[in-house]
A and B are shown apart, each in its own frame.
Chain A
């Protein structure tokens, strides 16, 4: 397989043009041959008629008055013509001197059979015409006058043959001429085609050059439509589309990296500043305690954020394994809530539980579900206004379990619900919670819910309720109740 488009086009077009030229040449050759041979045959026929005129019938006798001096072409020579005449009974009448002792075929079929193989002196490929004729009658006036019936006319057959030497030379010449013309035409057309094909594939090279110009640092580049032929337009369009998607993805990646950098640098800066200022001079134990507590809080939050980032990255890379077991969701929710109880009390939050322990078994991965629930509780406890309310519900439906965590005082408007799943998006874009919440919780929770085969949906009205609803496949059997109680770092992210 030839990989070059140009060579492929060139070879295909060259072969086609060679075949067409060969056919054309052969046609011309055959037509010319036919024309020339017919002409030669006609001349043989004329000669035959001339010879016929020398045959006379005298009464019942037929004789040839052929005079070799008058028709020298039938005498021996380099390329003589030949003739032989027979009577109707097949009796030999006359033959040309050139024929010497050889015979010519008597019938057309015999002539056709031996065409080209006539055993003749001086030649091996002759053409022959056969003519059946009635010789001129020399009647004697006595018999006609006596009313006697004339002798019935005799029928003779003449075969005239000759070597079409000139015709053959001409045909040979013509053949070489045509061959040379075709060969030349093929060479010239090949060269022309090479140029044409090269020109035709030039846009491909141009396109390749443009694609070569695309740098990963400048994905805003688009392939220009100028000089691109119609056939390549879809390719260019698709490539531009691909570039667009790449640019978008790179942009998202860049924004994500910038966000991660900001979210990690801010607490790091806090740590560094706190530690440095604390160490800048001797202090009392109380001052050190305050500084150490601050540093611990910042470290814990950074750890939680790094954990969430790692989880997200692993989920994105498809590295998170789901290990399902029968889980009592009510038990899990209570366990998770215990981490937030004191904070909820401190903020005077009113908490409403609507759960039934015997109606809350689900077949799911408790570790992943715990992360989700802790994220939801963290958000609810942090974002509900002081004195507000949190509502936790478990509802068993036909084949699934719906868990609702809702809080009052939503900071997210209904129109912004779609944004809450974006990484690092926060209802308060001014980042009043730097170092506390960085907007990964809901994104991670949704990602994990999808892994668990469930759904996470959000309903919100600005200032009203912020409702997160997750649905899980319900368990068929009763919960074992015993699952690994592994505490995860505080999801304050």
Chain B
């Protein structure tokens, strides 16, 4: 899941970015409103954490512009302004959540995760595909009751596939939402990550769960399709 953190006060920005990355998110950071707009335009984010008092373009204007541009990201306002008036204004301008500083990072993380689930319309924090179980709140994966040890990136990739299990996700989608390198994706990089993930969850003779659709991408599910590549 890709998150954009917009915050001008460096210590908060650094901590939030580090915390989110360590939680498996792909994170972009912006120091001011202009950078925020640029990032939001050039990448597709699932959640944007937005401070209101920003240099150049203030937070509310950023919010307004993003909504005018039909930016699909869920936006969480993170600000020191705590009056009901401020909150109402922010939410009315199109924010999805509001968190007042000072905040607990665990709460911010929980809210960001909740926004991600909301974006992909997954109410439950537990998803099952056959005997594969993904627990979003604890970030654990098990297959056949046996816990699997995934790296942050591998988990993020699996989570993205799980949340989009109703469709085929392209390599570009994966690149956009799971990795925060500002570079052109090379298809085989994504394939390498998929390969590693497969090696862990489909170890031995377990049925295949991640299916490759030639020329389109990947889909997570129990059912195999005739067109699937081995």
Contacts and interface: CB of A to CB of B under 8 A. Distances in A.
Interface of A: 258, 261-262, 265-274, 276-278, 280-281, 294-295, 297-298, 428, 430-432, 434-435
Size class of the contact patch on chain B? 20 to 34
A112 to B, nearest CB: 97
B95 to A, nearest CB: 18
Interface of A is mostly: helix
B103 A272 contact: yes
B205 to A, nearest CB: 35
Contacts of B14: 274, 294
Contact of A269 (B19, B54, B101, B106): B101
B11 A271 contact: yes
A266 B103 contact: no
Given A265-B101, A266-B101, A280-B22, A273 B16 contact: yes
A428 B58 CA distance: 12
B15 interface: yes
Contacts of B16: 273, 277
A299 B104 CA distance: 18
B12 interface: yes
Nearest to A275: B15
A435 B19 contact: no
Interface string B6-21: 0011011011101100
B22 A281 contact: yes
A434 B11 contact: no
Nearest to B106: A276
A430 to B, nearest CB: 4
Given A276-B19, A276-B105, A430-B32, A270 B11 contact: yes
Contacts of B32: 430, 432
A280 B19 CA distance: 8
Contacts of A298: 11
A293 B32 CA distance: 24
A323 B18 CA distance: 50
23 contacts: A261-B82, A262-B53, A262-B81, A265-B80, A271-B11, A272-B102, A272-B104, A272-B105, A273-B19, A273-B103, A273-B105, A277-B15, A277-B18, A277-B22, A277-B105, A280-B22, A297-B11, A430-B32, A431-B8, A432-B8, A432-B32, A434-B8, A435-B11
A430 B55 contact: yes
Q: Which 8 A-B pairs have the closest CB atoms?
A: A270-B11, A269-B101, A430-B55, A273-B15, A277-B19, A432-B55, A269-B102, A265-B80
Contacts of A435: 9, 11
A283 B104 CA distance: 20
A294 B81 CA distance: 24
A435 B101 CA distance: 13
B27 to A, nearest CB: 12
B55 to A, nearest CB: 4
Nearest to A274: B15
Nearest to A298: B11
Interface in B8-44: 8-9, 11-12, 14-16, 18-19, 22, 32
Contacts of B54: 430-431
B109 to A, nearest CB: 9
A274 B8 contact: no
B184 interface: no
Interface of B: 8-9, 11-12, 14-16, 18-19, 22, 32, 53-56, 58, 80-83, 100-106, 108
B82 A270 contact: no
Contacts of A278: 15
Contacts of A294: 11, 14
A273 B11 CA distance: 8
Nearest to B54: A430
B55 A266 contact: no
Contacts of B22: 277, 280-281
Contact of A262 (B19, B55, B80, B104): B80
Given A265-B80, A265-B102, A266-B101, A430 B15 contact: no
A265 B16 CA distance: 16
A362 B83 CA distance: 48
A269 B58 contact: no
B102 A268 contact: yes
A260 to B, nearest CB: 10
B113 to A, nearest CB: 14
A271 B82 CA distance: 19
A271 B12 CA distance: 8
Contacts of A265: 80, 100-102
A428 B81 contact: no
A280 B15 CA distance: 11
Q: For A262, A273, A297, A434, which residue has the most chain B Cβ atoms within 10 angstroms?
A: A273
A77 to B, nearest CB: 106
Contacts of A273: 11-12, 15-16, 19, 102-103, 105, 108
Nearest to A291: B15
Contacts of B58: 430
A440 to B, nearest CB: 16
A270 B16 CA distance: 9
A295 B11 CA distance: 8
Contacts of B104: 272, 276
A110 B85 CA distance: 104
Contacts of A272: 102-105
A242 to B, nearest CB: 26
B6 to A, nearest CB: 13
Given A273-B105, A276-B15, A276-B105, A261 B8 contact: no
A277 B106 CA distance: 9
B144 to A, nearest CB: 28
A249 B27 CA distance: 44
Which one of B12, B58, B103 has the highest number of Cβ atoms from chain A below 10 Å of its Cβ? B12
Nearest to B17: A277
A227 B219 CA distance: 78
Contacts of A430: 32, 53-56, 58
Contacts of A261: 80, 82
B156 to A, nearest CB: 16
B53 A431 contact: yes
B83 to A, nearest CB: 8
Contacts of A295: 11
B9 A434 contact: yes
B19 A266 contact: no
A280 B9 CA distance: 21
Given A273-B16, A274-B11, A434 B105 contact: no
A84 to B, nearest CB: 111
Nearest to A295: B11
